[in-house]
Amino acid sequence: MTPSLDIPSRFLLGPGPSNVDPRVLAALTQPVVGHLDPAFLRVMDESAAMLRRVYRTKNDLTLALPGTGTSGMEAGIANLIEKGDRVIVCVAGYFGERVCEMVQRHGGELVRVEAEWGKPIRAEQVQEALREHAPVRLVAIVHAETSTGVQQPLAEIAALVQESGALLMVDAVTSLGGVDLPTDALQTDYVYSCSQKCLGCPPGLSPITVSDQARERIALRKRPPASWYLDLELLQAYWDERRAYHHTAPVTLHYALHEGLRLALDEGLEARFERHAAAGAALQIGLQQMGLKLLADLPHRLPVLTTVRVPDGVSDAAVRAQLLTERGIEIGGGLGPLRGQIWRIGTMGVNASPQAVLLALSAIGDVLAAHGHRTDVAAGLAAAREELAVRPAARRKSATPS
Ligand SMILES: *Cc1c(COP(=O)(O)O)cnc(C)c1O
Protein backbone atom coordinates (compact mmCIF):
# COMPACT_ATOMS: atom_id res chain seq x y z
CA MET A 1 0.00 0.00 0.00
CA THR A 2 1.23 3.44 -0.83
CA PRO A 3 0.68 5.90 2.02
CA SER A 4 -2.26 8.27 1.71
CA LEU A 5 -2.75 11.69 3.23
CA ASP A 6 -4.83 11.52 6.38
CA ILE A 7 -4.75 14.89 8.12
CA PRO A 8 -6.91 15.43 11.20
CA SER A 9 -9.01 18.56 11.68
CA ARG A 10 -7.63 20.83 14.38
CA PHE A 11 -8.69 23.92 16.22
CA LEU A 12 -5.70 26.11 15.41
CA LEU A 13 -5.51 28.36 18.47
CA GLY A 14 -1.75 28.88 18.37
CA PRO A 15 0.39 31.66 16.84
CA GLY A 16 -0.56 30.57 13.29
CA PRO A 17 -1.61 29.13 11.01
CA SER A 18 -5.21 29.83 11.99
CA ASN A 19 -8.17 27.84 10.72
CA VAL A 20 -9.08 28.48 7.10
CA ASP A 21 -12.62 29.44 6.12
CA PRO A 22 -14.19 26.74 3.87
CA ARG A 23 -14.73 29.36 1.16
CA VAL A 24 -10.98 30.03 1.13
CA LEU A 25 -10.23 26.30 1.00
CA ALA A 26 -12.64 25.93 -1.90
CA ALA A 27 -10.72 28.61 -3.81
CA LEU A 28 -7.67 26.31 -3.69
CA THR A 29 -9.48 23.80 -5.91
CA GLN A 30 -10.03 26.20 -8.83
CA PRO A 31 -8.17 25.13 -11.99
CA VAL A 32 -4.43 25.67 -12.14
CA VAL A 33 -3.66 28.07 -14.99
CA GLY A 34 -0.42 29.62 -16.21
CA HIS A 35 1.17 32.42 -14.22
CA LEU A 36 0.72 34.71 -17.25
CA ASP A 37 -2.82 33.58 -18.09
CA PRO A 38 -5.17 36.57 -18.37
CA ALA A 39 -7.41 34.98 -15.73
CA PHE A 40 -4.52 34.83 -13.31
CA LEU A 41 -3.28 38.34 -14.13
CA ARG A 42 -6.74 39.56 -13.15
CA VAL A 43 -6.40 37.75 -9.80
CA MET A 44 -3.06 39.52 -9.23
CA ASP A 45 -4.47 42.95 -10.04
CA GLU A 46 -7.54 42.46 -7.88
CA SER A 47 -5.50 41.10 -4.98
CA ALA A 48 -3.08 44.03 -5.17
CA ALA A 49 -6.05 46.43 -5.06
CA MET A 50 -7.58 44.58 -2.10
CA LEU A 51 -4.23 44.49 -0.30
CA ARG A 52 -3.99 48.28 -0.66
CA ARG A 53 -7.34 48.55 1.10
CA VAL A 54 -6.35 46.16 3.90
CA TYR A 55 -3.02 47.94 4.37
CA ARG A 56 -4.82 51.31 4.08
CA THR A 57 -2.29 52.58 1.57
CA LYS A 58 -2.05 54.10 -1.89
CA ASN A 59 1.38 52.53 -2.45
CA ASP A 60 1.74 51.39 -6.07
CA LEU A 61 4.17 48.66 -5.14
CA THR A 62 1.88 46.35 -3.16
CA LEU A 63 1.99 42.63 -3.88
CA ALA A 64 2.23 39.16 -2.38
CA LEU A 65 5.66 37.53 -2.33
CA PRO A 66 5.89 33.78 -3.00
CA GLY A 67 6.98 32.76 0.49
CA THR A 68 5.91 32.96 4.12
CA GLY A 69 6.11 36.02 6.37
CA THR A 70 9.84 35.54 6.77
CA SER A 71 10.33 36.13 3.03
CA GLY A 72 8.71 39.54 3.49
CA MET A 73 11.11 40.25 6.33
CA GLU A 74 14.15 39.22 4.30
CA ALA A 75 12.98 41.08 1.19
CA GLY A 76 12.80 44.26 3.26
CA ILE A 77 16.32 43.95 4.60
CA ALA A 78 17.79 42.76 1.29
CA ASN A 79 16.35 45.70 -0.68
CA LEU A 80 16.32 48.58 1.79
CA ILE A 81 19.89 48.40 3.07
CA GLU A 82 23.36 48.14 1.56
CA LYS A 83 26.64 46.98 3.07
CA GLY A 84 27.74 49.34 5.82
CA ASP A 85 24.35 51.05 6.28
CA ARG A 86 23.38 51.73 9.86
CA VAL A 87 20.15 49.98 10.87
CA ILE A 88 18.25 50.38 14.13
CA VAL A 89 16.32 47.27 15.08
CA CYS A 90 13.81 47.39 17.94
CA VAL A 91 14.17 44.10 19.79
CA ALA A 92 11.64 43.00 22.40
CA GLY A 93 11.13 39.39 21.39
CA TYR A 94 12.01 36.54 19.08
CA PHE A 95 11.03 38.21 15.79
CA GLY A 96 13.04 41.35 16.52
CA GLU A 97 16.04 39.03 17.01
CA ARG A 98 15.37 37.42 13.63
CA VAL A 99 15.46 40.85 11.96
CA CYS A 100 18.85 41.54 13.64
CA GLU A 101 20.29 38.35 12.22
CA MET A 102 19.15 39.30 8.73
CA VAL A 103 20.64 42.80 9.03
CA GLN A 104 23.99 41.24 9.88
CA ARG A 105 23.85 38.69 7.08
CA HIS A 106 23.12 41.48 4.58
CA GLY A 107 26.08 43.54 5.79
CA GLY A 108 24.23 46.21 7.77
CA GLU A 109 25.75 47.92 10.78
CA LEU A 110 23.36 46.83 13.53
CA VAL A 111 22.17 49.11 16.35
CA ARG A 112 19.89 47.32 18.82
CA VAL A 113 17.22 49.17 20.79
CA GLU A 114 15.91 46.75 23.37
CA ALA A 115 13.05 46.19 25.78
CA GLU A 116 12.44 43.29 28.11
CA TRP A 117 10.41 40.46 26.51
CA GLY A 118 6.80 41.27 27.42
CA LYS A 119 7.25 45.06 27.32
CA PRO A 120 7.05 47.55 24.42
CA ILE A 121 9.89 49.74 23.12
CA ARG A 122 9.66 53.37 24.28
CA ALA A 123 9.79 56.15 21.69
CA GLU A 124 12.56 57.97 23.61
CA GLN A 125 14.84 54.96 23.14
CA VAL A 126 14.45 55.22 19.38
CA GLN A 127 14.89 58.97 19.47
CA GLU A 128 18.15 58.61 21.39
CA ALA A 129 19.48 55.92 19.05
CA LEU A 130 18.60 57.99 15.97
CA ARG A 131 20.53 60.93 17.43
CA GLU A 132 23.53 58.94 18.62
CA HIS A 133 23.98 56.86 15.46
CA ALA A 134 23.02 59.32 12.69
CA PRO A 135 22.89 58.87 9.77
CA VAL A 136 20.58 55.86 10.05
CA ARG A 137 19.33 54.21 6.89
CA LEU A 138 16.52 52.08 8.32
CA VAL A 139 14.56 51.52 11.53
CA ALA A 140 12.86 48.13 11.84
CA ILE A 141 10.14 47.34 14.34
CA VAL A 142 7.64 44.54 14.98
CA HIS A 143 4.06 45.80 15.29
CA ALA A 144 2.69 42.66 16.97
CA GLU A 145 5.43 40.63 18.70
CA THR A 146 4.01 37.11 18.54
CA SER A 147 6.58 35.73 20.97
CA THR A 148 5.41 38.00 23.82
CA GLY A 149 1.84 39.10 23.01
CA VAL A 150 2.82 42.77 23.03
CA GLN A 151 1.45 45.29 20.54
CA GLN A 152 3.87 48.09 19.81
CA PRO A 153 2.26 51.56 19.73
CA LEU A 154 3.72 52.81 16.47
CA ALA A 155 2.57 56.39 15.93
CA GLU A 156 5.16 58.21 18.02
CA ILE A 157 8.08 56.09 16.80
CA ALA A 158 6.94 56.39 13.17
CA ALA A 159 6.89 60.19 13.45
CA LEU A 160 10.43 60.25 14.88
CA VAL A 161 11.76 58.01 12.13
CA GLN A 162 10.11 60.08 9.42
CA GLU A 163 11.61 63.26 10.85
CA SER A 164 15.11 61.72 10.93
CA GLY A 165 15.06 60.83 7.23
CA ALA A 166 15.51 57.11 7.89
CA LEU A 167 13.21 54.52 6.32
CA LEU A 168 10.74 52.64 8.53
CA MET A 169 10.12 48.91 8.14
CA VAL A 170 7.22 47.37 10.06
CA ASP A 171 6.54 43.66 10.71
CA ALA A 172 2.77 43.23 10.49
CA VAL A 173 2.88 39.44 10.19
CA THR A 174 0.55 38.88 13.15
CA SER A 175 -1.42 42.13 12.94
CA LEU A 176 -2.58 42.51 9.33
CA GLY A 177 -6.31 41.84 9.09
CA GLY A 178 -6.77 41.65 12.86
CA VAL A 179 -5.38 44.90 14.27
CA ASP A 180 -5.54 48.27 12.54
CA LEU A 181 -2.39 49.23 10.66
CA PRO A 182 -2.81 52.54 8.77
CA THR A 183 0.26 52.26 6.55
CA ASP A 184 0.02 55.69 4.90
CA ALA A 185 -1.17 57.59 7.96
CA LEU A 186 1.88 56.27 9.85
CA GLN A 187 4.16 57.06 6.89
CA THR A 188 5.75 53.64 6.99
CA ASP A 189 8.04 52.73 4.10
CA TYR A 190 7.92 48.97 4.01
CA VAL A 191 5.37 46.70 5.67
CA TYR A 192 5.23 42.92 5.37
CA SER A 193 2.82 40.26 6.55
CA CYS A 194 1.76 36.67 5.90
CA SER A 195 -1.32 34.89 4.64
CA GLN A 196 -1.91 32.42 7.50
CA LYS A 197 -2.54 34.46 10.64
CA CYS A 198 -5.30 37.11 10.87
CA LEU A 199 -6.01 36.91 7.13
CA GLY A 200 -7.02 33.28 7.65
CA CYS A 201 -5.51 31.79 4.47
CA PRO A 202 -3.08 28.87 4.07
CA PRO A 203 0.61 29.71 4.62
CA GLY A 204 2.79 30.45 1.63
CA LEU A 205 2.34 34.09 0.64
CA SER A 206 3.72 37.30 2.12
CA PRO A 207 1.78 40.48 1.32
CA ILE A 208 4.06 43.53 1.24
CA THR A 209 3.67 47.24 0.54
CA VAL A 210 6.47 49.70 -0.32
CA SER A 211 6.34 53.51 -0.20
CA ASP A 212 7.42 55.65 -3.16
CA GLN A 213 10.16 57.08 -0.98
CA ALA A 214 11.55 53.59 -0.32
CA ARG A 215 11.40 52.77 -4.03
CA GLU A 216 13.40 55.89 -4.85
CA ARG A 217 16.08 54.82 -2.36
CA ILE A 218 16.11 51.30 -3.80
CA ALA A 219 16.57 52.74 -7.30
CA LEU A 220 19.69 54.59 -6.06
CA ARG A 221 21.41 51.46 -4.72
CA LYS A 222 25.06 51.05 -5.70
CA ARG A 223 24.59 47.30 -6.15
CA PRO A 224 21.51 45.16 -6.67
CA PRO A 225 20.24 43.24 -3.62
CA ALA A 226 22.11 40.02 -2.84
CA SER A 227 18.86 38.07 -3.23
CA TRP A 228 17.68 37.72 -6.83
CA TYR A 229 14.45 35.97 -5.83
CA LEU A 230 13.46 38.76 -3.44
CA ASP A 231 14.58 41.67 -5.66
CA LEU A 232 11.67 44.12 -5.43
CA GLU A 233 12.41 45.77 -8.78
CA LEU A 234 12.26 42.41 -10.55
CA LEU A 235 9.09 41.50 -8.64
CA GLN A 236 7.51 44.77 -9.58
CA ALA A 237 8.22 44.13 -13.26
CA TYR A 238 6.12 40.96 -12.97
CA TRP A 239 3.28 42.61 -11.03
CA ASP A 240 2.98 45.76 -13.17
CA GLU A 241 1.97 46.02 -16.84
CA ARG A 242 5.37 44.74 -18.01
CA ARG A 243 4.45 41.22 -16.78
CA ALA A 244 8.06 40.15 -17.05
CA TYR A 245 8.54 36.53 -16.00
CA HIS A 246 10.28 36.32 -12.64
CA HIS A 247 8.95 33.17 -10.94
CA THR A 248 6.06 30.79 -11.47
CA ALA A 249 3.50 32.23 -9.09
CA PRO A 250 1.89 29.66 -6.76
CA VAL A 251 -1.45 30.30 -8.47
CA THR A 252 -3.68 28.28 -6.13
CA LEU A 253 -2.33 30.07 -3.05
CA HIS A 254 -3.11 33.34 -4.78
CA TYR A 255 -6.70 32.18 -5.34
CA ALA A 256 -6.98 31.50 -1.61
CA LEU A 257 -5.51 34.90 -0.72
CA HIS A 258 -7.89 36.61 -3.13
CA GLU A 259 -10.86 34.91 -1.44
CA GLY A 260 -9.51 35.64 2.05
CA LEU A 261 -9.08 39.33 1.20
CA ARG A 262 -12.57 39.47 -0.28
CA LEU A 263 -14.05 38.00 2.90
CA ALA A 264 -12.10 40.45 5.07
CA LEU A 265 -13.25 43.47 3.05
CA ASP A 266 -16.85 42.24 2.86
CA GLU A 267 -16.88 41.90 6.63
CA GLY A 268 -15.48 45.44 6.87
CA LEU A 269 -12.13 46.26 8.42
CA GLU A 270 -13.54 48.12 11.42
CA ALA A 271 -15.93 45.25 12.20
CA ARG A 272 -13.13 42.75 11.79
CA PHE A 273 -10.81 44.63 14.15
CA GLU A 274 -13.60 44.89 16.72
CA ARG A 275 -14.31 41.15 16.40
CA HIS A 276 -10.63 40.40 17.10
CA ALA A 277 -10.54 42.91 19.97
CA ALA A 278 -13.63 41.38 21.57
CA ALA A 279 -12.41 37.79 21.31
CA GLY A 280 -9.00 38.71 22.71
CA ALA A 281 -10.47 40.69 25.60
CA ALA A 282 -12.88 37.86 26.49
CA LEU A 283 -10.13 35.25 26.42
CA GLN A 284 -7.84 37.41 28.54
CA ILE A 285 -10.48 38.21 31.16
CA GLY A 286 -11.51 34.56 31.24
CA LEU A 287 -7.96 33.30 31.78
CA GLN A 288 -7.42 35.81 34.58
CA GLN A 289 -10.71 34.89 36.27
CA MET A 290 -9.64 31.25 36.16
CA GLY A 291 -6.64 32.31 38.21
CA LEU A 292 -3.98 32.30 35.48
CA LYS A 293 -1.46 35.12 34.91
CA LEU A 294 -0.93 36.96 31.63
CA LEU A 295 2.56 37.99 30.48
CA ALA A 296 1.75 41.28 28.72
CA ASP A 297 0.11 44.21 30.50
CA LEU A 298 -2.56 46.60 29.27
CA PRO A 299 -2.54 48.83 27.28
CA HIS A 300 0.13 47.02 25.22
CA ARG A 301 -1.58 43.65 25.29
CA LEU A 302 -2.22 42.30 21.81
CA PRO A 303 -5.80 41.10 21.22
CA VAL A 304 -5.02 38.46 18.58
CA LEU A 305 -2.32 36.53 20.46
CA THR A 306 -2.53 36.06 24.20
CA THR A 307 0.44 35.00 26.30
CA VAL A 308 -0.33 33.25 29.58
CA ARG A 309 2.12 31.94 32.15
CA VAL A 310 2.42 28.18 32.63
CA PRO A 311 1.49 27.61 36.32
CA ASP A 312 4.30 26.45 38.59
CA GLY A 313 4.73 22.71 38.68
CA VAL A 314 2.84 22.12 35.43
CA SER A 315 4.57 20.59 32.40
CA ASP A 316 4.18 22.89 29.40
CA ALA A 317 4.76 20.15 26.84
CA ALA A 318 2.44 17.59 28.50
CA VAL A 319 -0.47 20.04 28.62
CA ARG A 320 -0.04 21.07 25.00
CA ALA A 321 0.27 17.44 23.89
CA GLN A 322 -2.93 16.48 25.71
CA LEU A 323 -4.82 19.46 24.27
CA LEU A 324 -3.76 18.37 20.79
CA THR A 325 -4.35 14.64 21.01
CA GLU A 326 -7.47 14.62 23.21
CA ARG A 327 -9.19 17.83 22.14
CA GLY A 328 -7.69 18.52 18.73
CA ILE A 329 -6.63 21.96 19.96
CA GLU A 330 -3.29 23.49 19.05
CA ILE A 331 -1.86 26.26 21.22
CA GLY A 332 1.73 27.52 21.06
CA GLY A 333 4.60 27.20 23.49
CA GLY A 334 7.10 29.90 24.44
CA LEU A 335 10.08 30.87 22.29
CA GLY A 336 13.64 31.69 23.40
CA PRO A 337 13.87 32.68 27.07
CA LEU A 338 10.10 32.10 27.47
CA ARG A 339 10.34 28.47 26.38
CA GLY A 340 8.41 26.35 28.88
CA GLN A 341 7.27 29.54 30.68
CA ILE A 342 4.24 30.64 28.66
CA TRP A 343 1.53 29.47 26.30
CA ARG A 344 0.57 31.46 23.26
CA ILE A 345 -3.11 31.38 22.34
CA GLY A 346 -4.17 32.86 19.02
CA THR A 347 -7.66 34.15 18.27
CA MET A 348 -7.06 35.03 14.64
CA GLY A 349 -9.24 35.04 11.54
CA VAL A 350 -12.28 32.74 11.96
CA ASN A 351 -11.06 31.88 15.45
CA ALA A 352 -11.71 35.41 16.73
CA SER A 353 -15.06 34.07 17.89
CA PRO A 354 -17.00 33.30 21.09
CA GLN A 355 -16.91 29.58 20.28
CA ALA A 356 -13.13 29.52 20.06
CA VAL A 357 -12.70 31.57 23.24
CA LEU A 358 -15.05 29.44 25.35
CA LEU A 359 -13.60 26.24 23.90
CA ALA A 360 -10.06 27.34 24.76
CA LEU A 361 -10.97 28.30 28.33
CA SER A 362 -12.82 25.10 29.17
CA ALA A 363 -10.29 22.81 27.49
CA ILE A 364 -7.33 24.49 29.20
CA GLY A 365 -9.15 24.30 32.55
CA ASP A 366 -9.92 20.59 32.09
CA VAL A 367 -6.44 19.62 30.98
CA LEU A 368 -4.81 21.65 33.77
CA ALA A 369 -7.06 19.85 36.27
CA ALA A 370 -5.92 16.53 34.83
CA HIS A 371 -2.37 17.69 35.56
CA GLY A 372 -3.19 18.49 39.15
CA HIS A 373 -3.65 22.25 38.78
CA ARG A 374 -7.15 23.46 39.71
CA THR A 375 -8.51 26.64 38.13
CA ASP A 376 -11.92 28.26 38.46
CA VAL A 377 -13.21 27.39 35.00
CA ALA A 378 -16.79 28.40 35.77
CA ALA A 379 -15.67 31.88 36.80
CA GLY A 380 -13.50 32.17 33.68
CA LEU A 381 -16.32 31.17 31.34
CA ALA A 382 -18.77 33.51 33.08
CA ALA A 383 -16.39 36.47 32.80
CA ALA A 384 -15.68 35.74 29.14
CA ARG A 385 -19.42 35.44 28.36
CA GLU A 386 -20.07 38.73 30.10
CA GLU A 387 -17.34 40.47 28.09
CA LEU A 388 -18.69 38.98 24.85
CA ALA A 389 -22.24 40.07 25.72
CA VAL A 390 -21.25 43.73 25.87
CA ARG A 391 -19.34 43.46 22.60
CA PRO A 392 -21.85 42.24 20.00
CA ALA A 393 -19.33 42.43 17.18
CA ALA A 394 -17.77 39.28 18.53
CA ARG A 395 -20.80 37.23 17.58
CA ARG A 396 -20.90 38.21 13.97
CA LYS A 397 -18.75 35.35 12.78
CA SER A 398 -18.24 31.87 14.09
CA ALA A 399 -15.32 29.50 14.16
CA THR A 400 -15.62 27.04 11.31
CA PRO A 401 -12.63 24.74 11.55
CA SER A 402 -12.64 22.62 8.47
C1 LIG B 1 4.91 34.35 12.28
C2 LIG B 1 5.77 35.56 12.32
C3 LIG B 1 6.84 35.75 11.43
C4 LIG B 1 7.29 34.68 10.49
O5 LIG B 1 6.33 34.36 9.56
P6 LIG B 1 6.40 32.94 8.80
O7 LIG B 1 5.14 32.99 7.98
O8 LIG B 1 6.42 31.89 9.85
O9 LIG B 1 7.62 32.94 7.97
C10 LIG B 1 7.52 36.95 11.46
N11 LIG B 1 7.19 37.92 12.33
C12 LIG B 1 6.19 37.77 13.23
C13 LIG B 1 5.88 38.87 14.19
C14 LIG B 1 5.46 36.58 13.25
O15 LIG B 1 4.47 36.43 14.13
Looking at residues 303-326, what average pLDDT do you find?
Answer: 98
Nearest atom (ligand 1) to Cα of 16: 1
Q: Does position 395 have pLDDT exceeding 80, yes or no? A: no
Looking at residues 358-363, what average pLDDT do you find?
Answer: 98
pLDDT band, residue 391 (cuts 50/70/90): confident
Q: Does position 100 have pLDDT exceeding 80, yes or no? A: yes
| Mutation pick for ligand 1 pocket among 77, 91, 95 (CB with most ligand atoms within 8 Å) | 95
Residue range(s) in the chain whose domain bears CATH number 3.40.640.10: 22-265
Please give the model's pTM, rounded to 2 decimal places: 0.97
Nearest atom (ligand 1) to Cα of 146: 15
Minimum CA distance residue for ligand 1 atom 6: 69
Q: Does position 392 have pLDDT exceeding 80, yes or no? A: no
Looking at residues 326-330, what average pLDDT do you find?
Answer: 98
Q: What's residue 397's pLDDT? A: 54
Tens of pLDDT, residues 39-76: 999 999 999 999 999 999 999 999 999 999 999 999 99
- Fold category of 269-395 in CATH: Aspartate Aminotransferase, domain 1 (3.90.1150)
Integer CA distances (angstroms), 46 to 41, 57, 180, 262, in order? 9, 15, 21, 10
Quick check: CB of 14 below 6 Å from ligand 1? no
Quick check: CB of 148 below 6 Å from ligand 1? no
Minimum CA distance residue for ligand 1 atom 3: 69
Nearest atom (ligand 1) to Cα of 305: 15
Quick check: CB of 147 below 6 Å from ligand 1? no
Tens of pLDDT, residues 222-239: 999 999 999 999 999 999
Q: What's residue 398's pLDDT? A: 45
Tens of pLDDT, residues 106-152: 999 999 999 999 999 999 999 999 999 999 999 999 999 999 999 99
Looking at residues 278-303, what average pLDDT do you find?
Answer: 98
Looking at residues 87-94, what average pLDDT do you find?
Answer: 98
Looking at residues 382-400, what average pLDDT do you find?
Answer: 77
Looking at residues 375-387, what average pLDDT do you find?
Answer: 98
Q: Does position 183 have pLDDT exceeding 70, yes or no? A: yes
Quick check: CB of 142 below 6 Å from ligand 1? yes
Round to the nearest angstrom and report the end-to-end CA distance of the chain. 27
| Contacts with 171 (C-beta within 8 Å, 6 or more apart), sequence order | 69, 73, 95, 99, 140, 141, 142, 143, 144, 192
Residue range(s) in the chain whose domain bears CATH number 3.90.1150.10: 269-395
Q: What's residue 1's pLDDT? A: 81
How many whole angstroms from 14 Cα to the centroid of ligand 1? 12
- Fold category of 22-265 in CATH: Aspartate Aminotransferase; domain 2 (3.40.640)
How many whole angstroms from 173 Cα to the centroid of ligand 1? 5
Quick check: CB of 18 below 6 Å from ligand 1? no
